[in-house]
Amino acid sequence: MEKVLVTGVAGQLGYDVMRELEKRNIAAAGADIGEFDLTDEAAVLEFAAAARPTAIVHCAAYTAVDQAEDESEKAYAVNVSGSRNIALAARQAGAKLVYIGTDYVFDGEKDGAYDADDPKNPLCVYGKTKLRGEEECKKIVPERLFIVRLSWVFGKNGKNFVKTMLQLSENRNEISVVADQKGSPTYTPDAARLICDLTRTEKFGTYQVSNEGVCSWHEFATEIMRQSGRDMWIRPVTAAEYSTRARRPQNSVFSKKELDENGFARLPHWKDALKRFLIEMEEQPS
């Protein structure tokens, strides 16, 4: 019988993967920090052995991008050692593994969309540890692995750019947002549907997933204000002006070649996804 183990269910993506599995009446075991310490190999293997999954969707990660610059050991422990432990659990169970990756594995200097196999050159600790997590999984379960890279993630359950913009608009008339970094937002319910579709197949490999359409953070913020009917001026600034602890890629646009070649439908446009997210937030406030 099909059974999916999902890690990081308290986060944005894990939450929506669990919801999608429930909609499909697929048996699921959800895990977060309360269930086991990801960095404890014995605890991970014990939990997985009891769950007996046919697939594992590994959403758990250290995702505090700027904080990771000062907590590199912790980020490494969770994103590298933790992912290794999950891969060992997948191998032990004979389960398929979905590893959730990131656009931060690239340096963002390419002019066009990034192909999945383009050279990797992460600019920050977070990106480096997520790339190492990919590599660990490839070593341990090379034949039963899906790597799913996401970019600019937003969803109901957790902190994200859309929620931050909406909160700031409550008591500010103006905000500065970076206008020279481009990419594609990814709505977690849309990504969750694709991930669940993947787990039903044997089409293993690396997939790059985001909603369709490309924008800058400034364009994203402007559309958030437009769709939500807020009146706040979004002032465009450069990434150099808006300095952050961790460097981010200037270009996070993905090629979707692998989705197309393997017959998976692309996700809807990000503006459509934003519209649905705002409706979801109105109907079910967090």
Question: How far apart are alpha carbons 226 and 212 in whole angstroms?
Answer: 19
Question: How far apart are alpha carbons 237 and 232 in whole angstroms?
Answer: 15
Question: How far apart are alpha carbons 218 and 96 in whole angstroms?
Answer: 38
Q: Is 126 a catalytic residue?
A: yes
Residue from 62, 99, 126, 207 carrying the catalytic annotation: 126
Question: How far apart are alpha carbons 262 and 144 in whole angstroms?
Answer: 16
Half-sphere exposure of 271 (CA within 13 A, CB side): 10
CB of 7 closer than 8 Å to CB of 58: yes
DSSP 8-state class, residue 194 = H
Question: How far apart are alpha carbons 43 and 119 in whole angstroms?
Answer: 35
Residue 192 CA to chain centroid, in angstroms? Answer: 10
As a three-state string, the secondary structure of 81-112 is HHHHHHHHHHHHHCCEEEEEEEHHHCCCCCCC
Residues classed as catalytic: 126
